[in-house]
Amino acid sequence: MTGGTIRALGLAGAVAAASVAGATGAQAGAFGLREQSAQGLGVAFAGAASGGAGVSSIFWNPATVTMRPGFASEQSLSFINLSGEITPTVGTAPGLLPFGSSGEVGQGAVVPSGATSYQLTDRLWVGIQTGAPYGLVTKPRQDWAGSVYARSSRIFSLAFNPVVGFKVNDWLSVAAGPSVEYFRLTLRQAVPVPGTFPGLYPSGFIKGESWGVGFTAGVLVTPAAGTAIGVGYRSSVHHDIEGSIGFPDPRQAIALGQVRANLNTPEKVSVGLTQAINPVTRINLGFEWDNWSRLGDVGIVSRALGVTVNHLPLNFKDSFFYSIGAEYDWSPNLTLRAGFGYDNVPIDFSNRSARLPDSDRYVVSIGGSYRWSETVLLTASYAHAFFDRGLLLAGPGRDYNIGNIPLAASTDVSADVVSVGFRYQWDAPAAVAPAPLVRKF
Centre a 10 Å sphere on the Cβ of residue 223 and count the other Cβ atoms it contains.
9
Separation between Cα atoms, residue 28 and residue 46, nearest integer Å: 13
* pLDDT score at 249: 64
- Cα-Cα-Cα-Cα dihedral of 44, 27, 405, 94, to 10°? -60
* pLDDT score at 293: 94
pTM: 0.88
Contact 380, 367 (CB under 8 A): yes
Predicted confidence (pLDDT) per residue in 17-27, tens digit: 333 333 334 45
* pLDDT score at 173: 98
* pLDDT score at 429: 57
Average pLDDT over residues 131-136: 93
Is the peptide bond preceding residue 94 cis, with omega within 30 degrees of 0?
A: no
Average pLDDT over residues 211-230: 97
Phi, psi (degrees; rounded to nearest 5) at 433: -125, 120
Contact 381, 41 (CB under 8 A): yes
Predicted confidence (pLDDT) per residue in 269-288, tens digit: 999 999 999 999 999 999 99
Predicted confidence (pLDDT) per residue in 385-412, tens digit: 999 999 999 999 998 998 899 999 999 9
Name the nearest CA neighbour of 109 among 53, 155, 159, 56.
155
Contact 304, 70 (CB under 8 A): no
pLDDT band at 438 (very low <50, low <70, confident <90, very high): very low
Separation between Cα atoms, residue 312 and residue 297, nearest integer Å: 6
Separation between Cα atoms, residue 299 and residue 49, nearest integer Å: 35
The mean predicted confidence, pLDDT, of the chain is 88
Domains of the chain with bracketed CATH:
26-425 (2.40.160.60)
Name the nearest CA neighbour of 95 among 243, 235, 201.
201
Separation between Cα atoms, residue 425 and residue 413, nearest integer Å: 39
Centre a 10 Å sphere on the Cβ of residue 138 and count the other Cβ atoms it contains.
28
